[in-house]
A and B are shown apart, each in its own frame.
Chain A
Amino acid sequence: MAKRIDIKDVNIYYGKFHAVDSVTLSVPPRSVTAFIGPSGCGKSTVLRSLNRMHEVTPGARVEGQVLLDGEDIYAATVDPVEVRRTIGMVFQRPNPFPTMSIRDNVVAGLKLAGVKNRRRLDEVCERSLRGANLWEEVKDRLDKPGGGLSGGQQQRLCIARAIAVQPDVLLMDEPCSALDPISTLAIEDLITELKQDYTIVIVTHNMQQAARVSDQTAFFNLAGVGQPGRLVEVDDTEKIFSNPSQKATEDYISGRFG
């Protein structure tokens, strides 16, 4: 659990379009790394290359290496399905399976992995929902469909679903962008708790959020329209927000803070 990620000289393409240029970046275990940057600069694209979700898009491909505790997840012998089982993902829009009950949503990943034991599934369900701070709210209606929850609850359900399989890494793409401030705070607290056990990478447009939850911040930018996005700098969050070494970073951050 909680593995280290080393991204080495990764170039990402959508067909002929070169979306991200040569990113090199390390994420230490049991830490939170935030990706910030203007829209379209490739934050989601980089994030999705970390669990091989990028290649789900037709024509999309990744060049370079992504090492998970030293092992390249893009090596020819690696099965992308296995990679996704060990690297969980939470999306921008909450996406519980609407026809499944809350319980089935949480244990969906375990069922896919072949766990059948009812007792064990129930245990994991409770542990994950507690882990996602959702247990108290839903414990009396575990058999109701997951689509019947509020947006914030649905997002926490998706987090529970992602942590139920005890992944090595948790990727989150703007997990709070569809949520109200209270749910956002709940999820931020949750991220801080989850950091004890998981390596977390989060994409966010909310500077305060990046400042609040992350240990390390990576700033991405576009060199221009139609140009690939690139990593401008990555450093301790405190340093990025107080004294970044690149002017572009400072402009971006100060633009947000006024």
Chain B
Amino acid sequence: MSDSTLADRSASAKETPGRARAPHGAPGSSRGGAASSPDTPEGPISTANTAQGEPASTPVRRPGDRVFRGTAVGAGAFIVVLIAAIGLFLLLQAVPALRANQVGFLTSGVWNTTDPNSLQFGILHLLWVTVATSVLALALAMPVSLGIALFLTHYAPRRLARPFAYVVDLLAAVPSIIFGLWGIKVLGPTLVPVAEWLNRNLGFVPLFAQGNVSISGAGNVLTAGVVLAVMILPVITAVSREVFERTPKEHIEGALALGATKWEMVRTTVIPFGKAGYVSASMLGLGRALGETVALYLILSGTGAAPKLSFFDGGATIASKIALGAGEFNNELTAGAYIAAGLVLFALTFAVNALARAIVARKKVSA
């Protein structure tokens, strides 16, 4: 008996979702159960709603909103002005040095700023090392991050996923200088045999040919790229993980219900859904790699020789070159040369970000 009372209760509770019935129930019972047209009560109610909604045309401004709006606009404007001011400052500082430059800034690779009266500085070699290390880092970190992010979100047992994700995040907290030390003292020497093997067997490919520094020194693009890869791994993984986790459950179940294996499910739903996020995460990582200074300052062997466009080139990246030149900043003109290099880095990271945004925007449109 108690069974049926409970059933009654749940049955009447069940009424709530059927909204059409709720307004109908009250008048219906007072009129003695005239249950003829169940949909009519909805009409008047919805018209009443729109009639009430219309008069609200004069916007009400609350003080809280005004204050918040003011702060938000102020903060936004401040940032924009600040960035513009920094750019302008850099530009103004760089112009005199660029004028005094005796070689083409964008076409030469020479860097000779010891004599302020005959400045020779070109960005080319620095640009190569910067781009090569960052792109190598990205090429190494992207697949690994993808694997880790997919593992953490869709393969790892929950109990394992959390601590593992934490460890990966912790990697981001290691200071660059530690990565630099590790790179030059531990990783570099272990990479030397690999580098020598690559050079011996694949030396005919320009990327693996002899570079402008000795391979046994390990202070080359390869070591730097691997270290950078480790450094940008956490950020790419963390962002991708967030995105992959958001894959709608309906899509995942839709794929599984069609008889997809786990990997097929990941391939048909998780990856298409997270692709844009993964690409922007990678661009975030690339941005970080391009600007990394201290670690590369420690790792890369300095050389005046022109790079051979090989993984075994040494030299400096734009950022590490600026750090190396800190001793020369007392001369305005010399400092201007480094600032000009800094501007190129600024433009490069800006372009990478813009590219990432464009990619993400296009992905969104097509999806």
Q: Determine if chain A interacts with chain B.
A: yes
Give the interface of A toward B (CB within 8 A).
Answer: 38-39, 41, 51, 53, 56, 58, 81-82, 84-86, 88-89, 91, 93, 95-100, 108-109, 112-113, 145, 147, 158, 161-162, 165, 205, 221-224, 247-248, 251-252, 255-256, 258
Known: A85-B258, A109-B258. A95 touches B6 (CB 8 A): no
Partner of A53, one of B12, B251, B256: B256
Q: Is B268 an interface residue (CB 8 A)?
A: yes
- The listed residue with most B CB atoms (<10 A of its CB), out of A98, A147, A205, is A98
With a cutoff of 8 Å between Cβ atoms, the chain B residues found around residue A252 in the complex are 7, 11, 14
Closest-CB distance, B95 to chain A (whole angstroms): 49
Closest 4 CB pairs of A and B: A85-B259, A95-B250, A248-B7, A89-B257
Are A99 and B367 interface neighbours, CB within 8 A?
yes
List which B1-27 residues lie within 8 A (CB) of chain A. 3-4, 6-8, 10-15, 17-18, 21
Closest-CB distance, A98 to chain B (whole angstroms): 6
Closest-CB distance, B74 to chain A (whole angstroms): 40
With a cutoff of 8 Å between Cβ atoms, the chain B residues found around residue A251 in the complex are 4, 7-8, 11
Are B35 and A99 interface neighbours, CB within 8 A?
no
The CA of A258 and the CA of B18, in the complex, are separated in Å by: 13
> Would you call the interface of chain B mostly helix, strand, loop, or mixed?
helix
With a cutoff of 8 Å between Cβ atoms, the chain A residues found around residue B259 in the complex are 81-82, 84-86, 109, 112-113, 165
Are A38 and B256 interface neighbours, CB within 8 A?
no
The CA of A165 and the CA of B258, in the complex, are separated in Å by: 8
Are B10 and A97 interface neighbours, CB within 8 A?
no
Are B250 and A38 interface neighbours, CB within 8 A?
no
Interface size on B, residues (CB 8 A): 37
Are B250 and A93 interface neighbours, CB within 8 A?
yes
Partner of B15, one of A84, A99, A158, A255: A255
Q: Is B41 an interface residue (CB 8 A)?
A: no
Q: Is B260 an interface residue (CB 8 A)?
A: yes
With a cutoff of 8 Å between Cβ atoms, the chain A residues found around residue B256 in the complex are 53, 56, 84
Q: Is B33 an interface residue (CB 8 A)?
A: yes
Partner of A84, one of B33, B258, B366: B258
Are B7 and A97 interface neighbours, CB within 8 A?
no
With a cutoff of 8 Å between Cβ atoms, the chain B residues found around residue A98 in the complex are 251, 272-273, 367
With a cutoff of 8 Å between Cβ atoms, the chain A residues found around residue B21 in the complex are 258
Closest-CB distance, A222 to chain B (whole angstroms): 6
With a cutoff of 8 Å between Cβ atoms, the chain A residues found around residue B258 in the complex are 84-85, 88, 108-109, 112, 161-162, 165
Interface string of B190-219 (1 = CB under 8 A from A): 000000000000000000000000000000
Q: Is B101 an interface residue (CB 8 A)?
A: no
